[in-house]
Homo-oligomer: A and B are copies of this chain.
Amino acid sequence: MTGEGPATGTGEFALIDKVFKPLAAETPAALGLTDDAAVLAPAPGRELVLTKDAMVAGVHFLETDAPGDIARKLLRVNLSDLAAMGARPIGYLLATFWPEKLALDWIMEFADGLRLDQAEFGIGLLGGDTVRTPGPLSLSLTAIGDVPAGGALRRNAAREGDLIVVSGRIGDAALGLLSLTGELAGLPDAERDYLRGRYHLPVPRLALGAALVGKVRAAIDISDGLIADIGHIAEESKLGALLDWEKVPLSAAARAALARDTALIEPILTGGDDYELAFTLPPGDAGLLEALAGAGGVPLTVIGEMTAGDGVRVRRPDGTEIPLKARGWQHF
């Protein structure tokens, strides 16, 4: 591990000693963060899976978010990528770009968040870098997991006629973000807190992802939005997708919000950050879903099917198509 600290009066190596080494203490591959790199081999018969996500204050999280929540979300969005591939998590490397005025207390709270989720998901810090930036707090995390050799779930494996299945509830995180930014007001407190919580602290569907290996065809996590991510499966599989709006699983809070404002159908279908899994399997395998839901610890819902053609369409119960302006998370 290498790096510099923020202007906390704590030198770079002291910061690594104080903040990061404890996070690596139980991970032999990290070599105690004393060396230039971590050393790691997958267990026999397994392959490593590597993913990397970056986040910037003011763009991907709010400056006022709790430091521990920022840390946990960073970790969890990466773990969700592992879940989408069917991988079980092993550990992570972390690059932190600290603004010069960031307080050491802030960093310690950030580290507390990492510690909580390391325990939650059975992973450890493997290495990384910590540098100073004149810009906003920025973070990059590389998560490492493993899958049975040859078993990684892919986006490109859907076939025409496959059922499309999603885990959990869709749209909560997008509504939570609208609430946080003030664009969705008037929610009862309990619904507001639930939706914001779904935005702040997604639950990577790791047990489900691991259970899907060898059982389903294509898989993805819903980070860009339901339409965009089903669209990724469709595009990579050279197919289209047809979703039934009334089958899309909504939380009670989302249903209540939607009852007050039907225009929320748009963020629910196209907003990101739910970090549920979507996958496809042949109609004849629908009988597997109950066992998969049990193994994953999360409800599963069939919401549509893969079709010939391309693109993702969503139909109402009367058969008409729902027009959607946005197609998912893009920064333009």
Q: In the assembly, what is the distance between CA of A143 and CA of B236, in Å?
A: 27
With known contacts A12-B331, A140-B129, A154-B35, A50–B40 Cβ distance under 8 A: yes
- What is the total number of copies of this protein in its complex? 2
B59 near A134: Cβ-Cβ < 8 Å: yes
Query: A133, B131: Cβ atoms under 8 Å?
Result: no
In the assembly, what is the distance between CA of A28 and CA of B207, in Å?
27
Query: What 1/0 mask marks residues of chain A from 313 to 332 whose CB sits below 8 Å from any chain B CB?
Result: 00000000000000000111
User: Given that A133-B136, A155-B34, A220-B36 are known contacts, is A54 also in contact with B97, CB under 8 Å in the complex?
Assistant: yes
- Across the interface, A134 reaches (CB within 8 A) one of B47, B135, B236, namely B135
A50 to B145, CA, bound (A): 13
Whether B36 pairs with A221 at a CB distance below 8 angstroms is yes
Interface size in chain A (residues, C-beta < 8 A): 75
The reply to whether A50 and B4 form a contact with Cβ atoms under 8 Å apart is no
A60 touches B135 (CB 8 A): no
Chain B neighbourhood of A255, CB < 8 A = none
A126-B75 Cα distance, complex, nearest whole Å: 19
A152 on interface, CB distance cutoff 8 Å: yes
Chain B proximity mask over A31-42: 1 for CB below 8 Å, otherwise 0: 100111111111
A97: which B residues are within 8 A, CB to CB?
54, 56, 97, 138
The segment from A78-86, A104-112, A160-168, A241-249 that touches chain B is A78-86
Q: Are B52 and A127 in contact (CB under 8 A)?
A: yes
Chain A positions 121-153 with a Cβ under 8 Å from a chain B Cβ: 126-136, 138, 140, 142-145, 147, 149, 152
Which residues of B have CB within 8 Å of A96?
54
Complex Cα spacing A30 to B249, Å = 33
A48 at the B interface (CB under 8 A): yes
Q: Which residues in B have their C-beta under 8 angstroms from that of A48? A: 39-41, 48
A59 touches B95 (CB 8 A): no
| A6 nearest in chain B by CB position | B331
Q: A residues bordering B, Cβ < 8 Å?
A: 2-5, 7, 9, 11-13, 31, 34-42, 46-56, 58-60, 81-82, 84-85, 87, 93-97, 126-136, 138, 140, 142-145, 147, 149, 152, 154-156, 220-221, 223-224, 232, 236, 330-332
